[in-house]
Amino acid sequence: MPESTCAAPLPIRPAPPSGPLEQGREFAWTQADFARVQALIRQRAGISLHDGKHAMVYSRLSRRLRDTGHRSFHDYLAWLQTHDGPEWQEFVNALTTNLTAFFREQHHFGILAAHLRAKSAAASAPAPHWRLWCSAASTGEEPYSIAMTVLETLGAHAAFTLVASDIDSRVLAMAAQGVYRLDGLKGLGAERLQRFFLRGKGGNAGMVRVKPELRQHIDFISVNLIHDDWPFPEPFDMVFCRNVMIYFDAPTQQRVLARIHRVLKPGGLLFVGHAENFSESRTLFALRGKTVYERR
């Protein structure tokens, strides 16, 4: 009889990876964790995170897990909810977006200058003291652009106060310092650089700092737009709230707009971002230009 044959034994394959390394991740990350983050950041900052933000949230909050010594998002978020301390600010800082630049959305600054000239010409002596608010100051490029525009329009002795606020304490501290890389300011032009900035020397070569005469007009403070405790005893002539509302859902937008209406003088201007439209708030604001509204 012929010798019997049999198939060679199949190689033993290792079990597929499981747990946090299954997707090449350092920490366990589930849909429940993401939903919990969504709820917490909406509660604290009014930010609506859509489902496409999984990777961003994981990446940014992973740093918080490392710094606090937690091994899972479940444990970190549970700990966060039972502690009312500074980590909440770090949590908010990690999830806020700070895209900014000097004179971003250039047309707004032309409208700002024209409004200042027109109102100043119509005002009786003495010249008015202007009050402006930049509600998303980020690292400072926007409020400094506003302040430069005011000084260029009304002169070195212009009477104005600019409140620059943000919910992110980290970027607000950077804004208050007013220090920037010189190669990031090339679009400003030589005249503005000379008038408003000091160049670093030696170990600070390649850096610039805003001059005191520009910085002195700006008060940097922390303000959470969804909280109804804004520290403004006097109304503003103009409010810049640009590219902020896109992170809020519709009801939150309406509440924030109503609060802005309360702190803005009648006839005052509200500047918003290029992707923001508040035509549904006609009882509060009238459109007066490209993404510029007048307070009714």
- Can 33 be counted among the known catalytic residues? no
Quickly state the pLDDT bin for 98 (edges 50, 70, 90). confident
- Can 60 be counted among the known catalytic residues? yes
Mean pLDDT of the chain: 90
Q: Which two tokens stand for residue 168?
A: 């992110």
CB 177 within 8 A of CB 142: no
User: What is the model's pTM?
Assistant: 0.83
- Average pLDDT of span 259-269: 97
pLDDT in the model for residue 259 = 97
Q: Which two tokens stand for residue 51?
A: 């489902």
Q: 133 in helix, strand or coil?
A: strand
pLDDT in the model for residue 84 = 85
Q: Catalytic residue among 60, 104, 195, 209, which?
A: 60
pLDDT in the model for residue 24 = 67
pLDDT in the model for residue 23 = 56
Q: Catalytic residue among 33, 166, 168, 237, which?
A: 166
Quickly state the pLDDT bin for 80 (edges 50, 70, 90). very high
Pairing of strands 285-289, 236-241: unpaired
Return the DSSP state at 17.
P
Q: Which two tokens stand for residue 117?
A: 């000239």
pLDDT in tens, 8-59: 444 444 333 333 444 568 898 999 999 999 999 999 999 999 899 999 999 9
Residue in this structure with the two tokens 């922390």, named with its chain if needed: 222
Q: 28 in helix, strand or coil?
A: strand
pLDDT at 1 over 70: no
Residue 267's region, left for phi above 0, alpha for psi from -120 to 50, else beta, is: left
